[in-house]
A = this chain, B = another copy of it.
């Protein structure tokens, strides 16, 4: 075994596979990110996620302490994200990075009341769009779509603030929890709804309007991507769909490429869509043609 230990510790074998710190900077931590998500959920939906003794009288204490803890953890993780991006040899001014991280964390916390307004609209739209939902409280408690959208809105805000890596970790935690994979770079309007949700994929450059509803298994993906002369993919080119207001996309439909789905359009289930859809158009699978029926 000693030999294996040596082989596993060799510097060469560790290239790109080992994550070390140069100068005492913090490291991205799944546990801290999980705690950050919990704190955000508690601040946005007080009383729902584990801090169940909230009352009219003590809510300010709960909110106050959660903000304090969030400021501290988030500063730390933003700092980790900022250092993560830096390549190995580069000098870091940790003190300056910490101040920048702290400012970004503050900015984020200031935006929480607006995030609550956005999520309130998402909850309301989900409740109105599902005959099985009995109350908005049930929606907040039980609907994976709300959890994934909440993580997305948190992560997207951090993207806007220029935070690397951490937003992706936040969206992956929702992906693991719900099977819904929304890239934090996507842009999504208000009153967004996802039903059931397992298998939903929303790509990094997708743009989604207001009042859009996606069912389980819907992909808003890229068709292909440009590569540079070295064969490496070119980053940052818009390659995912633009979805207009009030669009509904049914389960397992796949919408690919930088196409536009016009306002009020409807995409039927299981469809494969790679071209623009006009405003108000409705696409459904041509049923009889592609199914063979026979007696067993």
Contact = CB atoms under 8 A, between A and B. Distances in A.
A14 B59 CA distance: 10
B199 A179 contact: yes
Contacts of A54: 18-20
Given A17-B45, A84-B138, A134-B164, 14 more contacts: A1-B67, A17-B44, A19-B52, A27-B52, A31-B50, A57-B68, A61-B65, A128-B233, A142-B165, A143-B172, A175-B198, A196-B201, A199-B216, A277-B293
11 contacts: A1-B57, A16-B120, A18-B46, A19-B48, A60-B64, A131-B236, A134-B165, A142-B172, A198-B198, A219-B269, A268-B272
Given A5-B64, A28-B141, A53-B68, A291 B271 contact: yes
A137 interface: yes
Contacts of A294: 281-282
A144 interface: yes
A199 to B, nearest CB: 5
Given A16-B123, A54-B18, A199-B198, A165 B141 contact: yes
State the majority secondary structure of interface residues on A: mixed
A27 B178 CA distance: 23
A210 interface: no
Contacts of A256: 269
Given A54-B19, A63-B5, A123-B17, A272 B274 contact: no
Contact of A8 (B63, B123, B181, B183): B63
Determine which residue in A31, A68, A185, A295 has the highest number of CB atoms from chain B within 10 A of its CB, and name it.
Answer: A68
B60 A132 contact: no
Contact of A176 (B178, B266, B269, B291): B178
A289 interface: yes
Nearest to A124: B16
A112 B6 CA distance: 12
